[in-house]
Amino acid sequence: MNSFITNLGLLINATMIATPPLLYAALGSCFSERSGVVNIGIEGMMTIGAFTGAVVAYYTGNGWFAFFCGGLAGALFGLIHAVACISFQADQTISGTAINFLAPGIAVFMCKALFDNSSDSPAVDTAAKIPKLFSGIFPVGSFWNNALNNYAAAYLVFVVAAIVWFVFFKTRFGMRLRACGEHPRACETLGIDVFKVRYICVILSGFLAGLGGAYVTLATVSQFRPSIIVGQGFIAIAAVIFGKFNPQGATLACLLFGVCTGLKTLASSSNVVSPNLISMIPYVVTILALILFVGHARVPAANGKPFYKAQ
C-alpha cells in the first residue's frame, strides 16, 4: 500500500512535469486550427518563447513577467505567420516550416550575441523562476510533496484550458472563430471580419505556444539551450488532432502523454524491462487509444485554405 501511494505520487509528479508545456502549446494550436489556419510553426514559437523566458528572467529576476514575455515573443511569430497566411494568402505549411527554422535560428543567434558567444543561456536563480506552490511544506520524497509541490504555472494551464473551452463554446467570439474555420465565406456574408478573427486566433496560438516554451526554461529546467525544445511542438499538434480539435480533447490527450512519461519513469525503476521498450510507451498507448477510443477526427472544413475577401 505504501509503495502504491509513493508510486501514485511519482506518477502525478511526472505528469505535472511533462503535461503543461504540451498543453499550453496545444491550446494555442486549437485556436489557430479551428479558425482555419494550419500552424505547424508551434515548435518554433515554443523555442523563441523558451529563449525569451530564460533571458528575461535572467535580467529582471521576475519569473511571471518573464513567462509573459515568452508568450509575447511567441505572439510576435504568430503575427508573422498571420501576415503571411492571412493577408498574403501564403501556403500555411510553408510559412509554418519557415518559422520552425527562423525562430530557433534567431534564438541561438541572440543567445550567442548576448552571452559571450555561448548557445546556452546562464542559469536563472530559483527566485527568478515561476514560483512553486506548497514549496517546503511537505518533506522531500513524501506523497504530498510529489503530488502537490508543482510550479504554479502547471496549475494555471488547467485554468487556461477551462477558459479556452468557455471561449470556444460559450462566447460569440468562439462561435465566430469556429465558423471561420468551417465556412469563412458564409461568415463574411454575415458581416464577420474573417481576417480579424483569424489574426486574433493565430496571434493567440503564438502567445500560448510561447508560454509553453517559457514553461520549459522557467520550470522544467532553468536555462535555455538549443536542444531544449525538441519535438514538443509537434506532439502538441498531434494532441490537438488526437483530441478532435477541441480544447477539452487536447487537454485529455496532453494528460495522456504526461501520464505515459510517469509510466516510463515507474517502469524503468526496476531495470528489468528493456529501456527501448519503455521508451515506446507513449507512442504505443497513443496508437491504441486512437484505434480503440478516439475514432475519426474531423478537420475543420476550411483549415489550411487561404481566404480571399470578396471584391
**Residue 30 in the binding site for other proteins (CB under 8 A):** no
Q: Which of 101, 173, 283, 308 binds other proteins (CB under 8 A)?
A: 101
Query: Using the rule CB under 8 A, is 119 a contact of other proteins?
Result: yes
Length of the chain: 311
The candidate with the shortest Cα–Cα distance to 121, out of 107, 104, 106, 138, is 107
Does position 105 bind other proteins by CB under 8 A?
A: yes
| Using rule CB under 8 A, residue 84 touches other proteins | no
Nearer to other proteins, 226 or 304 (CB): 226
What is the smallest separation between the CB atom of 15 and other proteins, expressed in angstroms?
A: 9
Site membership for other proteins, residue 8 (CB under 8 A): no
Residue 250 near other proteins by CB under 8 A: no
Considering the complex, state which of residue 220 and residue 248 has its C-beta at the smaller distance from other proteins. Answer: 220
From residue 182 to residue 221, the character string flagging contacts with other proteins as x (rule: CB under 8 A) and all else as - is: ----------------------------------x---xx
**Rounded distance between C-alpha atoms, residue 194 and residue 161, angstroms:** 24
CB nearer to other proteins: pick between 227 and 311: 227
The alpha helices in the chain, defined as continuous H runs, are 2-34, 42-60, 63-82, 92-114, 143-148, 152-170, 172-182, 184-189, 194-215, 232-242, 247-268, 275-279, 281-289
* Helix, strand, or coil (residue 124): coil
Q: How many residues at the interface with other proteins, by CB under 8 A?
A: 49
Instruction: From 104, 67, 56, select the one nearest 228 (Cα to Cα).
Output: 104
Q: Which of residues 126-145 bind other proteins (CB under 8 A)?
A: 126, 132, 140-141
Q: In this structure, what are the phi and psi dihedrals at residue 151, rounded to the nearest 5 degrees?
A: -70, 140
Under the criterion CB under 8 A, does residue 74 sit at the interface with other proteins? no
Residue with smaller CB distance to other proteins, 86 or 260: 260
Choices 10-18, 58-66, 172-180, 203-211; region in contact with other proteins by CB under 8 A: 10-18
Q: In the set 5, 91, 182, 225, which binds other proteins (CB under 8 A)?
A: 225
- Residue closer to other proteins, measured from CB, 90 or 267: 267
Q: How far is the CB of 281 from other proteins (least distance, A)?
A: 11
Among 60, 163, 279, 287, binds other proteins (CB under 8 A): 279
Shortest Å distance, C-beta 218 to other proteins? 11
User: 30: closest CA among 165, 232, 170?
Assistant: 165
Binding segment for other proteins (CB under 8 A), chosen from 56-64, 84-92, 108-116, 285-293, is 108-116
Q: Which of 22, 57, 24, 16 is nearest to 223 (CA)?
A: 57
In angstroms, the Cα distances linking 214 to 17, 64, 144, 154, 191 are 13, 10, 26, 12, 37
State the burial class of residue 35 (Cβ atoms within 10 Å of its Cβ: 0-12, 13-18, 19+): buried
Which DSSP state fits 219? I
Residue 124 phi/psi, 5-degree rounding, is -90, 140
